[in-house]
Each structure stands twice: as C-alpha cells, then as structure tokens.
Amino acid sequence: MSINPYFVTAHPPSAVSHAQKGSFTGPNDVNLVVCKTTRLEIYLLGETGTELVHAENLFARVQVLHLVRPADRPTDLLFLCTDRFQYALLSWDPSRNAFKTEQAGSLEEKAGRKLDENPLSFVDPHARLLGLNLYQGSLKVVPLDKSGSIRMSATATAAMAVQNKGKKRAVMPSDDLPSPFTIRMRENTVHSMVALDSPLPTVAVLYQDAKENRHVRVYGIIIKDKELTDPVLEVDVPNTAHLLIPIPAPIGGFVVLDYRTATYCSADGSVRPAPLHLRQEFKIKCWSYVDPDGTRILVGNVVGSYAVLFLHAQQNQVASMSIYSLGSTTPCTSLVYLDNGYAYLGSHVGDSALIKLTEEPDATGNSLVVERTYTNLGPITDFVVLDAPGQPGAGQLVTCSGAFSDGSLRVVRHGIEINEQVLIQVPGLVRVFACARGDGGAHDLLALSTGAATIVLTCADGEIEHVEATSLRTHEPTVLLAAVTGTHRIVQVTPTGVYLFDATSMQQLDEWTDTRGTAIVAAELSGIALVVAYKASIVELTIAAKLQNPRPRQLGDDISALDVHGTLVAVALWNRDVVLLARPSFAEVARVTLDQFEARSIRIAEWDTGAYALCGHGDGSLVAFEMQPNGAMVNPRKNCSGHGARTASRGLSTADVCTLLNPNFGGEVLMVAKEDGLLVGAIEPIENIHIATYPLGGEMARRIAHHAPLSTLAVLTERLEDAMTHEEAGFLKLFDDATLEVVSTEQLAPTETPLSICILSTADGAEQLVVVGTAFVKPTEEEPSVGRVLVYRITPERVLQLAIATTVKGAVYSLAAMPGGRLAAGIANRVQVFGLPATLTAGAKLDPICYHAGFITALYIESRGDFLSVGDLMKSVTMLVYSEAARTLEVLAKDPAPSWVTAIAAVDDDHILAADANCNVYLARRNAGDDADDAAARKRLELCAEWHGGEFINRFRRGCLHPVADDGAVTPVLITASANGALGIIAHVMDPATFELLLELQRLVASQLVPVGRFAYDEYRAFANERKVVPMHGAVDGDMVERYLELDPAVQANMAAALGNTLGRGDVAAEDLTKLVLDLARLH
C-alpha cells in the first residue's frame, strides 16, 4: 500500500530564539518583538503588561533578528536573516495591521564554509550598516541609507523589476551606497562581535587563534572601499572569554566577559580598569541595557542566574565595575529590559517570563519576581500518547520538556478550556437550570437540583445569592426549570408533577400531576409545548394561562432521554432504540437502533449543512444521524465530538452536567453540576491545545515510556550537579499516569547517563518489564566505551526492582521490544538482539542472540514484529529483519544516501518516515514486490516523499490529538514533537483522488499568498541538505491547505472551478471543498 502523507501543525513552536524592544507598530508604541524561529509575534507594552498585537508564521527559519531605527524614519524596521541566508527588511503597515516587506534579497555566497554555530551579527548604533559573520573568515556588510533602505545589486534590481512588472516601481536609493558586500577577515574562529559607538562604523571581534588563545581586535569599516581598516586595537583576553558587550557613547568601549571576570576596555585601549572578579563561575549568556548609557546592564547566565553589572564612570571614563546578584529563575536565550523594573526572559529551555526587579530581596534572597509566564513545550526530547480521559479516540500527550532546572513533564490535551471563576459547595448536585424571568434574555434565576431537593439562586448586579423563601418546589429534585416564551410564565417539572408560576411574582398559577402516580424522569419545553416522560410513556401539555390538553403516548420500553424540536419529539430508550415522533399525533416517523450503547442524552440540532439527531453515550462519545426531509435518520457518524468538558487544571467527568448561563452582569459562562458543587467558569471561544505543567524539581526528563498494566510512566531524568563541569546524575523514576506523582525512584551509578527506555513483555506475556539503556561518560573518551542494559520489574505496589544488569561495549542509544521476550538494542555502531533468561533470578543476564554492525551510530530503532527500522547518525535509515530459525539479523533494504537522522517511525512493513538535522522529513519505501528490476533494487529504499518541515523533530509517536470521523478523508498516523516545542500531525490521505485534489489546492492557495519577507513558499518547503535541493513532493502541506479557509468566498469559488478544470472533474463545489478542508482541520 502506498502512503499519502498529509502534515499539519497542531501546536506552533513556543521556544523563543530572539527578542528585541523597539517602536515598531507606531512612533509612540513600545513593542516587544519575539521570534520563535519560524514565527514572529509582536507585543504592545501597556500598563497591565504585554498584549499580543500580531502573530505571523514565516516560510523561513530565522537566525538573525534586529530592530533598526534609521535617521529618517519615525519607527523601527525589522531585519531578518534566515538559515539559508535570505534577508528581509520589514516595516509595519497600520492600515492593514500587517507586516510590509520593504526589501528582501540573499546574502548567500557561492563559496565559503558556513559556521558550525549560529551566525554572529551586529547593528551599527547609528544605523549605517548591519554586519553578519555567516561564513568562516568572512564579514558580510549590509549598508543602510538614511531611510533604512538596502542598496541592491544589479542582479537583484533586475529580478525585482520582473516581479514588479505592471506594478508601481520600487524607488531605489540614489546615493552612492554599495549593495551588500563581503570583507575577508583574518579571524576564522569568532566567538563574539559587536559594533562600537564611533564616528566611523567600528566592530570589535573576539576570536581564537590557531594556538587556541583568544584576543580582541577592533576594526573600522570603510563602506565606500568595502574594506576594514588596520586593527585600531588588539587586546589579549583569557582563553575562556566568550562574550563582548558594547557600551554606548559618551562612555564607549566594550566589556569582555569570561567565566570568572568582567573586563572593561575603551575603544582605543587607553582605559582598562582592574577586572571585576565574579563570586562564582558565571558564564553570562545574554544581556540588556537597563540605562541608555550602558552604566547598568542586566545579565543572565546559562543556568538562569541573573545580576546587574554596574559600570562606575567619572567624566565618561569607567573607573571600576561591580555586580549585584538578583537571584534565579528560568534560563533565557534572549533578555530584554523593558521599563520601570520589568524585563522579558525569552527562553528556549523553559517557560518564557515577564519579571519585575525589586529593590529588596525576598525571604529566599531573590530580587526578582515572576509576574507572568509564557508556556513553552520545548525542547521536547520524548513523549508518549495516552488515552485522553472522557475522549474516546483522542490522545493526550505526556512530554519530556525543558532542560536544566526547568525540566518538566507536560500533559497536552485538545479541547475547550473553562476558566474557573467560582465553585459553590453543593454536595450531591445532579443538575442545574438557568432561566430568564424578564424580557431581556439575561438569566436571573438558577435552580440547583440534588437527589432530594432543589436550591434556588438569583443572579443580579454581579452577585449570585441564595433565595430562602420561594414558591418553587424546593423539597424535591427538579427535572426541568424553564421560561415559557411569550407568556411571562415559568414552568417547573419535578418527579411528582408540573407546576406553572408567574415570572414576576413567582406565585403558582397551576399544577398538573399524573393520576397513576408514576415519577417523571425527563421533560423538554419547545415554545408552549411541554413534553414530560414517565417510565415508558410521554405526555404533551400546552401552556397558556393554565396547563391544558394532556396527550399521552405509550412507547413500550423505558425512556432514558427526550428532546422536542418544532413538530418532532426524539425519544431515546434504554433498549438502545431511538424513536422520532410527530407532534401532536405522536405518530412514529422513524426508529433506529444504536450499535453498542444506549443514548443517555438526545438532541435535534439544525446547522448550515442540515438537521441532525445527536445521541450522547455515557462515555462522552457522540453519534450524529442525518435527518432526511421525511424524518428518516441516516448516515450515523460516530465520535464526531468525542470529548467531555474540562478545565486546564480540573477534569470534568462524563457524568457532569453542563448548562449555559447568560447573566445580566457579563458574557456567557458555563455552569457545571459536579458531585461536590456548582462550578461556574468562562468558556474559551475556540477549541485549543491545553497544557498542564508538572515540574521535576531541578531535573530534566530525557526519555519516557508507558507501563499500562500498572498505570505508570517510567521516566529517565538527569540532574545537573555542576554547570561548569557538566557533571550530571541519572535517575529512573516511576510516575502515576493520572496524577503524575512519583511512586518509585532508582538512581543510576556515578557518571552513568540514561539514554533509552522501552517496555518489554516476557515471552509468555505474563509480565511487562522496564528496560533502560545507559552509557558511562568519561571526560577522556570522545565516545562512551561502556554502557549497561538494565531490566527492572515493577511490583504490584508499584516499586522498581532491578532484575538484570548487563554490561555492554558502548553506549546503548536505543531500545525496542520484539516478540517472544526479545530486545533490540542500538549499541554504538551495531544493532544487537537479546533474549530474556528463562527466570529473572539474582545474577541473571541477557542472552546475546545476534547483532548487525556497519553503522556509524545506531541512534534510533523502531520494531514491527521481527522487522527493525534503524536510524543512523549519518547513514540514513535501514530495514533489518530477524530470523528466528537462523537467529540472525539481515538487511532488507537501506537508503544509500547519507543523512543525519534525528527521528524515525516505522509506518508499516514497507515504509519508514525519518527526520534529519536539516529539519527535513522524508518517507522511504521498500520495493518488496516483483516489479523490482533486480536484487539490488529490492535492497534500496526509494524516497517517495520529501519535504522541509521547518522544525528539528526529536520524536515520532503513533496516535492523534483529536478524534476523527470514521468516514473522514484522512487517517491520523503519527504525532511529531520538535526541539522548539512544536507539535505536528502526519496523516494518511486514503483516497488517491483526494490526495491529488489536495496537492492542487495547496498549489493554488500558495499562489494567492504574498509571503512576509518575500520568503518563497516553494523554496522553504523544498527538501534541502548538504548534497541536494529537491522540490517538495509526495506530501500535502496541511498548513497551506487550511489557509484556503481565510480566502474571500469569491476567491474560493474561482479556486474550486480551477480545481475542476485542472483535474478534469468538471465543477467542484466551493461548499464541498470548504467541508473537506474543515474536516481536515479537525485533525488538530
């Protein structure tokens, strides 16, 4: 079977790569610009904090970001440079509330060795130029004119003229500024470079020479001559120096930072006060000016400690420096001091934060307070997919997120959030009703029904109050309380009868009881028609001045639920039948029998696509029947909803009953009748991803596996003992999979690092074991030479017990369970198969059955029965098969091209999905049939789909976040998780014709978009590595397809017509296309 991949983003990246402060959206605005590699977010600073103004996904991975304020502009420009060395200069268009691309181009060189690390860059303080170190020994200079424009080369100008043919021509700068140019540098290994405040554009370069000694050189940049001046200053610095901080005029100069000292140096070297000795090894990673003159600088180190560096100046000359420690919180990659003591910490390894600096330390010694956090899932090193409570067919993720002290487990679910506002204690609460006594529609009367009584509340002026004296029936439960439209009446239904009240005085006007004395079990009101249900019969009453014309109807079986909609009555029976009756005769219109469970609730609903009978089961699942004009119920769609209500911190069970409340003091809220009381909360407007955080107390989670029989999660964690020596301690911890509380812990040996984990069943299937792969890390070894495979049992009391410890030659990078109690392990450059001993007694060892060598490093293994898929550090993917008869591992097929694999998934016996270090994804297929030309062809994996995903994927797992309909266009296959905290879905488009339609729709939608920064979509999605660049093929980009929903209806109609013509299908209805895309959007 061929696989037709459809990939889409379920959760955007959340790890912050860059952040800057400036006035971007307006001259008087203070903006925080946050970049999350492929996503830009613009915030506006106000009195209450930060407000998101705009967010935009880019067709690029941003590596350089700067805000630039040219002399002739009232606002800042945003400069971006991507990992493919394309650049763009953006401004803000207030008329469209969108980015405007002022200029764009490429800084790529034909020859040159790219840096191993991210590019270094700087902006001249007077906005005369930008400088970028993109290649070794090379400085790319981007001159700017007074308006911020970049001079383009003749080639770029011609290309732009072609793009703008028929449009208003772009005005090119008229001065003598050259286009971006390259200056060769003597320094190949540059660690930091900054622009100094000087009449001539000047750069200070911290570099390492061939003898691994470090120095600082200061150069002037002559733009007209495209060259550097001779060094105006050369300074020797400690070999641990790693960062330069420029100091603005009038002081000028720069600060050199190493692990132990901070040293100031003036631009000409004439002023060099004694170095400031730090109290501890404090590797400063990021900084931000507190004062515009640079005399106070907020600094942060790699583990989240923060301080203020003071430069004590006299007559604009630095005499000394001092440092004041603020305390610790999340480590950051971008540090931005905002104003009035507030700073933004943009983090890649934990939640980003808005902090407040305080004058006095608190009880813990911290002089900073976290005012707000911004959730970050990244980096996700591993995750598992569990069944979401109350959501049949949906998954909830438990991720290993964060690093260093910010390590945590995160629970990720899909749904609508209820922000809890109040919980009213009412033990035994069963149902809640809300109705409006007046004509305004605002609910001002509530009835809380327990198993034995009713509590009456009123809503007025923002208050909910208990009513002691009322004529309502409070000594028994309430089945229904509702306002009768157009009559100024309130009707209450209890198990004993029906009672009518005046809406103003609340005096009882009439009552009706059944002469048989049978209890009422359900009731529904439609207009002035009230239908009540007894054990196996229903009665309709007409509400006027009195309760009139009771009309009974016997149904023969007990009733579980009913609904009234116009002239129809829908009745659910305990025998699993659903009956549709016509009012007022109660003639049977239709009857269907549900497959598995009876309906606990039923509702007739009308949407744009027609009328439906919705049947809710006790487990939260839903079946929807289409209703034909003749009343017939057809085409049942199962699990089209499939989720129960919940909050981010409080789960709502499927037994909880919800009611919408429209009070007279605010927006619509939700009331939930729970066993312990009434929960009142605001409803999120859209369905979304919700994340709960479980910190690990200073440890970081590396790998995770689910032990289903004992409802536990086995997690490998590490704790950083020393940030400078990188000494770590490793643990295996067992968590309850519902509460995420630790139930058992095992610490590994000193210097032993946990690398891999899996759950292995014994040969007889009687027990599931936890298997851990480790390595002993020694400073003298580039690659670990010794590791262990540890096998743990879990007792019924959920305690870990070490059963087997087998020492192996090399690091155990990956583990995979196989049938028959066998274990596959990726150990250094080989894949080895082990067998469990007959009995797990003291001193037992794993039985080494066979191995296959020939890998560089076997990092990833996925098993499907006796088939093994292996992802290598450099040699792409390989399919192996284990032969029980021969007790050997044989190569079925492999990809001959090199690839730095970061994650793999065995889609089926013939397909492997892989991600690489260049953020590409590819699908490899084994040619197992007779159509292969020769044996060599059958041994070669064919790449049937390739695309650039934009994310560094760390893990694929089978599952889905959201249930899909049985007859949907796609089947969810995999969930992806990345280092930036992004989650994705990869699905299979089952119908080849639908796959072709989606490919064409993707092309048409892309042709309608004007990308930010002119970063071309086709170039972005092209598979690109060191060897080749291939246009995306064999897969559909769901993110692009779903942008069809953003287009104007007229454009959608034209697109549908174009699809029909291109594919030779005649007319394709825009409504059908919209329905298809909406169905696809439900994947996430």
Residue 606 buriedness (CB in 10 A; 0-12 / 13-18 / 19+): exposed
Residues near 1018 by beta carbon (within 8 Å), at least 6 away in sequence: 1006, 1031, 1032
Is the residue at 455 inside a domain? yes
Burial call 61-72: b when 16+ CB within 10 Å, e when fewer = bbbbbbbbbbee
Instruction: Pick the closest to residue 737 from 715, 768, 769, 761 (CA basis).
Output: 715
SS3 878: strand
Sheet of 920-926: strand order equals: 901-906, 911-916, 920-926, 941-948
Task: Report phi then psi at 1023, rounded to 5.
Answer: -65, 125
Residues 487 and 506 in one domain: yes
Is the residue at 461 inside a domain? yes
Burial call 715-748: b when 16+ CB within 10 Å, e when fewer = bbbbbbeebeeeebbbbbbbbebeebeebbebeb
Amino acid at residue number 282: F
* Antiparallel, parallel or unpaired: β 5-11 and 1036-1037: parallel
Q: Which of 633, 654, 685 is the last residue of a domain?
A: 685
Q: Cα separation of 755 and 808, whole Å? A: 14
- The CA dihedral of 690, 696, 699, 703, to the nearest 10 degrees, is -60
pLDDT at 171: 36
Domain count, the chain: 2
Is the residue at 813 inside a domain? yes
Residue 945 buriedness (CB in 10 A; 0-12 / 13-18 / 19+): buried
Is the residue at 715 inside a domain? yes
- The CA dihedral of 223, 228, 232, 234, to the nearest 10 degrees, is 140
Q: Which of 967, 990, 1013 is the last residue of a domain?
A: 990
Residues 713 and 665 in one domain: no
Residues 432 and 493 in one domain: yes
> What residue numbers bound the domain in which 907 lies?
382-390+396-404+691-990
Residues 857 and 930 in one domain: yes
Is residue 870 within 8 A of residue 881, CB to CB? The reply is no
Q: Cα separation of 294 and 424, whole Å? A: 54
Residues 659 and 758 in one domain: no
Cis peptide before 379 (omega within 30 of 0): yes
Is the residue at 320 inside a domain? no
Residues 753 and 807 in one domain: yes
Residues 445 and 532 in one domain: yes
Residues 614 and 746 in one domain: no
Q: Cα separation of 652 and 458, whole Å? A: 25
Is the residue at 879 inside a domain? yes
pLDDT at 487: 80
Q: In the numeric block, which tokens belong to residue 954?
A: 């760390």
Q: In the numeric block, which tokens belong to residue 974?
A: 């995999």
pLDDT at 172: 38
Is residue 429 within 8 A of residue 678, CB to CB? The reply is yes
Q: Which of 963, 990, 1017 is the last residue of a domain?
A: 990
Is the residue at 642 inside a domain? yes
Q: Cα separation of 77 and 55, whole Å? A: 17
pLDDT at 278: 76
- Residue 1075 belongs to what H/E stretch? helix 1070-1081
Question: Which residues of the chain are modeled with pLDDT < 50?
Answer: 153-175, 640-656, 664-665
Is residue 561 within 8 A of residue 600, CB to CB? The reply is yes
Residues 674 and 720 in one domain: no
Q: Cα separation of 814 and 832, whole Å? A: 10
Q: Cα separation of 1061 and 1076, whole Å? A: 18
| Residue 468, phi-psi category: left (phi > 0), alpha (psi -120 to 50), beta (remainder) | alpha
pLDDT at 458: 81
Q: Cα separation of 425 and 464, whole Å? A: 13
For residue 206, list its beta bridge partners.
Answer: 192, 216
pLDDT at 422: 65
Instruction: Pick the closest to residue 20 from 68, 57, 62 (CA basis).
Output: 68
Say which CATH number the domain at 614 has.
Answer: 2.130.10.10
Which one-letter DSSP state was computed for residue 763? T
Q: Cα separation of 627 and 564, whole Å? A: 15
Residues 594 and 547 in one domain: yes
Give the CA distances from residue 825 to residues 278, 698, 756, 894, in Å, rounded to whole numbers and listed in that order.
Answer: 46, 30, 9, 18
Is residue 880 within 8 A of residue 892, CB to CB? The reply is yes
pLDDT at 173: 38
Q: Cα separation of 342 and 502, whole Å? A: 57
Residues 655 and 702 in one domain: no
Q: Cα separation of 1056 and 1067, whole Å? A: 7
The model carries a pTM of: 0.81
Per residue in 154-183, pLDDT (tens digit) is 444 444 444 444 443 333 333 455 688 999
- Residue 833 belongs to what H/E stretch? strand 830-835
Task: Report phi then psi at 644, rounded to 5.
Answer: -90, 160
Residues 792 and 808 in one domain: yes
Q: Give the residue ranges of DSSP H helices in 887-951.
A: 935-938
Is the residue at 310 inside a domain? no
